Amino acid sequence: MAFAQKTLRTGATPADDQIRVMVVDDAVVIRGLLSRWLDADPGLAVVGSHRNGKRAVDDIEKSDPDVVVLDIEMPEMDGMTALPLMLAKKRDLIVIMASTLTRRNAEISLKALSLGAADYVPKPETTSEVTTSVDFRRELIDKVKALGQRARRRRSAVSARAMRAETAAGRTAAPARPVSNKVNTREAFKNGPASSPSAPRAQFKLRSYPSVRPRILAIGSSTGGPQALQVVMRDLGTAINDIPVVITQHMPPTFTSILAEHVGKAAMRPSKEGQDGEMLKPGNIYVAPGGKHMLVEKSGAGMKIKLTDDAPVNFCKPAVDPLFESIANAFGSAALGLILTGMGHDGAEGVRHIASAGGAVITQDEASSVVWGMPGAAAQTGMCSDVLPLREIGPKVARVIKGVTR
């Protein structure tokens, strides 16, 4: 049964600046707990709570949520069945999949991203673990807020542009229609919406590319990363035949092994989780395993992977900063880094290490990022060599690997 608007905190209608959230989970205890957590944040308002996908789909138009936290396994209608039906009713809806850490659920969560879900959040396996997990609560709230705010900004940009267009045409601007009639969420998160233009490239201080051709490509990503990685790896083509690729994506165990499989299919190259002591091979892709930091270090005439169980960096494990620092130390000016969409600022310090060693970093622009946290922080260092839309990154990286930097 749906909550009355703001039942949990004030009983008042959500304010215009609050992000409207719907929680869908068949476990009443979990559903109530998540709703209380979210509703306790002053920037969020829980407008609906349902035990299965069917009830949630039926309530989308009435509750009009900005974000839906959607469980996968539910009676009557599961999350994967409900997902496209929700997006059909509200095409700019942000859907965050919530699932426990099983291989099956990890597979389903990554598939959901290709069908229009914006992100996922892994749930602890038991109710008691959910109740006591500070990290899970923080991740859930952070993602709802970051993705919800991004969606609201995009809607505002679309509405403002529509009003300007009507005014320019000599008509009285009518109230803007909801962006749900205009924007397809799946395409917006894949390609970057035209409604949220990126800051001009010239706005950022950029460094020249080194004259040395890269001997490794290191990629860091988080929220929106699995989708972005698919695009970039497809676009790289044969450029990575002669160099290894190392990737840190903020993901838990199980998810990273499946991500490696998906990335390998997109790139049509061998791809797997990195193993401690494994020698890097050209044309191969190595993904940092969830729960471990992945580094690269010299080993004789070659380079090998080193996995560590050190404390989280920037609340992340694996983290991008340790990987980037290690490739800066190991490869110097032959290091090429890439920062894709993601929350937070992980990778910014690593960018400084690569730049100081003479290497180059490319970062994704704001318009094409699901969340412009990590790439934004990287761009603001003034030590990147390019800030590009997602669709331009793969071709550019391919040219840089081949020695063409213009």
262 tagged catalytic: no
- Of these residues, 49, 198, 221, 222, which one is catalytic? 222
Q: Average the pLDDT over each of 88-102, 150-164, 372-386 and give the range with the smallest value.
A: 150-164
Q: Are residues 224 and 335 in the same domain?
A: yes
Domain annotation covers residue 329: yes
250 & 153 share domain: no
Same domain, 51 and 178: yes
Catalytic residue of the set 71, 346, 365, 386? 346
| Cα–Cα distance, 67 to 46 (Å, whole number) | 10
Residues 132-154 have pLDDT tens digits of 888 899 999 999 999 998 877 76
* pLDDT bucket at 221, cuts 50 / 70 / 90: very high
Are 74 and 52 within one domain?
A: yes
pLDDT 10s digits, 18-56: 999 999 999 999 999 999 999 999 999 999 999 999 999
Q: Residue 237 sits in a domain of what CATH number?
A: 3.40.50.180
- Domain containing 150: what range? 1-196
Q: Could you tell me the pLDDT band of residue 2, with boundaries at 50, 70 and 90?
A: very low
Q: Which of 250, 262, 345, 353 is catalytic?
A: 250
Q: At a CB cut-off of 8 Å and minimum separation 6, what does 129 contact?
A: none
Is 250 designated active site? yes
Sequential DSSP letters for 172-239: PPPPPPPGGGT--HHHHHHH--TTSPPPPGGGS-BPPPPSSPPSEEEEEE-TTHHHHHHHHHHHHGGG
- Amino acid at position 85, single letter: L
Domain endpoint, select from 172, 196, 220: 196
Indicate if the pLDDT at residue 170 is higher than 60: yes
**165, 196, 227 - which closes a domain:** 196
**Is residue 110 domain-shared with residue 248, that is, in the same domain?**
no
The answer to whether position 10 is within a domain reads yes
Domain containing 95 — which CATH number? 3.40.50.2300
Bridge-based pairing of strands 293-299 and 302-308 is antiparallel
* Residue in 347, 338, 150, 327 with CA at minimum distance from that of residue 250: 347
Same domain? 240 vs 276: yes
**Does residue 222 carry a catalytic annotation?**
yes
99 lies in some domain: yes
Indicate the number of domains in the chain: 2
Q: Is residue 129 predicted with pLDDT exceeding 50?
A: yes
Same domain, 188 and 213: no
The pLDDT of residue 171: 58
| DSSP per-residue string spanning 107-134 | HHHHHHHHTT--EEEEEPSSHHHHHH-H
The pLDDT tens digits for 336-366 are: 999 999 999 999 999 999 999 999 999 999 9
pLDDT band at 128 (very low <50, low <70, confident <90, very high): confident
Which residue among 160, 181, 196 closes a domain? 196
Q: Are 210 and 353 members of one domain?
A: yes
Q: Are residues 206 and 324 part of one domain?
A: yes
State residue 195's pLDDT score: 34
Domain-embedded: residue 344: yes
Per-residue pLDDT, 163: 63
What end-to-end distance do the CA atoms of the chain give, in Å? 58
- Cα separations (Å) of 214 from 206, 335, 343, 401? 18, 5, 27, 6
In a domain, 37, yes or no: yes
DSSP summary character for residue 242: G
H/E segment holding residue 387: strand 386-388
Residues 181-197: pLDDT tens digits?
333 444 444 444 333 44
Q: Let me know whether 174 and 225 are in one domain.
A: no
Co-location of 188 and 205 in the same domain: no
Does 406 fall in a domain? no
Least confident of 108-112, 283-287, 293-297: 108-112
Place of tokens 């998160």: 189
pLDDT at 118 over 90: yes
Domain check: are 90 and 235 in the same one? Answer: no
Total-model pTM: 0.85
Which distant-in-sequence residues (6+ apart) come within 8 Å of 187 by Cβ?
none
